[in-house]
Structure formats: C-alpha cells, structure tokens
Amino acid sequence: MLTQVVEGVLVHQSELLRNNSVVVQGRAGVLLVDAGITGSEMACLANDLHELGLPVVAGFSTHPDWDHVLWHAELGEVPRYGTARCAADMQELRSKAGWQARAAEGLPPEIAGDVPLDLFGLITSLPTGTARIPWDGPDVRIIEHPAHSPGHAALLVEGSGVLVAGDMLSDVFPPMLDSFSDANDPVEEYLVGLRLLEDTTYDVDALVPGHGSAVGGADQIRARIDLDRAYLHALRDGRTPDDPRIGSAKPGWEWVSGIHEGQAQSFARWSERDGAGD
C-alpha cells in the first residue's frame, strides 16, 4: 500500500524489516528509490503504480546492501542509478562465479523463497561527484557520505522538502556501522555523514529513513540526528547507550540489541588494535 508523505512523494513499506521504498512523481512517471525486498511486495507496488497511471521511469539504490539493490521485472526496464562506489561493488559481486548462491545464503530465512535475484544489483553508475539524479522530474540532490557503507547516499527531493536517508535516522535500528579496519574509523565516518544530513535540515520538511517510520518537521528530524549522535558518542566512549532502539525492542525485534552488542565488541577490539599501533 502506498502512503503519501507530502504531495508528490509516496512510500511503500515492506513488512519484515520495515524497508521504505520511496516514489517521487515526475512529469512522465516516477523515480523509485530502494524498490523493496520480496517479489510479492514489489509486484504489489508495481500494480499500485500501474493503477495510478504512474510508470516507473528511473530507479535509485541508496547503497549496496542486499535489501536496497533488488528489482522486479514488473517495475520495468529503466535505468537504476547509484553512486559510482555502489555500482562498482555490485559489478564486482556479480562478476564472481556462484554469486547468486552466496547472495541467497545471506537472505533472512523467512523470505528467502520470495526474493528475486535475477535483477539483483544491476546498478547504473553515476559519475563521481554527480549532484542530482538525471531524470525528468523535480530536482533530487544526491548527498553521498561515508556513513554505514561505501557508496551510501541520501537524497533530498528539492521543492517537496523530503530527505530520503537510506540506512540512517531510523527509529527501529541504531546506527549500523561499516566494518572496522585499519583503514577507517567507522564511528567518525558516521558522524561525518550525520553532519552532512544535518546541514540539509533547513530545507527539509519530512524524513523517510530506509527502515522504520517517516517523520515530519525539522525538530523531529533533528531529534533523530541527535539520537544517532548520542549512540555513537556512547559507543566511542565505551558506555552503554541510553537508546530506546536497543533497550525496549518490540516482540520479534529483540535481535536488534545484538547489532549494538556486536558493534560494541568490534569497536573495542578496533580501538585496542589502533591504540597499540600508535
């Protein structure tokens, strides 16, 4: 079911992980951001758009995680854009023998039989530094940043004032960091990403995260940013975050606390290793 966020911007939410697929109306059709995760849900979305007389004319994947690079044939053969790094990651994955089997192994077992992989990861690279999505519709600014994963990008639908945040600013997941390595500090990278998103809040009236509930109003959006920043500061300082997303999960979502526990352990090991190398 499609829900209007503001005029010209609609959202379709997947059931399992509360993924948000965002539909932006243009002159000849719609831009579809992060199409969804199951075949039945994407087919339902395609049917809803067909009934509204809104063909898909372009797609965009906010980053290269499996649940953001899926597509369904009924959505049409259209360019599916992503950042250069996102597209490169997908090209590398698909170039290796047996990639479909490995991708299938990483799917949640509840939906593994209903996730079409034939069009998985077919992303059209946008040149590095591209500022806006090339399509016949409202200006959609690309805000690429280092948080969460390589090649991650948020989108700002200018005119409508909607920030499509990708896997950030969620009310169901705490910040999910990129992998810890000798080459990067994922906490600092995430803080950089938050600062870039914060810079847009003066132009934003509504936020759609990759997972969870959309919110309206600059104050609510800044509250999401403050919550993510407080989590990161606590993680960096070795404190247990006072964060409702990991402390009081609804039934069936208790596993979310494991995201934090794994990150806390990884950061502790990384900090010890990084400190030993100084």
pLDDT tens digits, residue range 27-57? 999 999 999 999 999 999 999 999 999 999 9
- Whether the CB-CB separation of 54 and 2 falls below 8 Å is answered with no
Residues 135-144: tens digit of each pLDDT: 999 999 999 9
Please give the structure tokens belonging to residue 22. Answer: 């965002």
User: Rounded to whole angstroms, how far apart are CA atoms 5 and 22?
Assistant: 9
User: How far, CA to CA in Å, does 173 sit from each of 194, 232, 245, 259?
Assistant: 15, 13, 6, 8
Structural domain for 231, as ranges: 2-276
pLDDT grade, residue 10 (50/70/90)?
very high
User: Which CATH number goes with the domain that contains 204?
Assistant: 3.60.15.10
Please give the structure tokens belonging to residue 264. Answer: 């806390």
User: Rounded to whole angstroms, how far apart are CA atoms 111 and 235?
Assistant: 32
Task: Report the number of distinct structural domains present in the chain.
Answer: 1
The percent of residues above 90 in pLDDT, for the chain, comes to 87
User: Rounded to whole angstroms, how far apart are CA atoms 160 and 47?
Assistant: 25
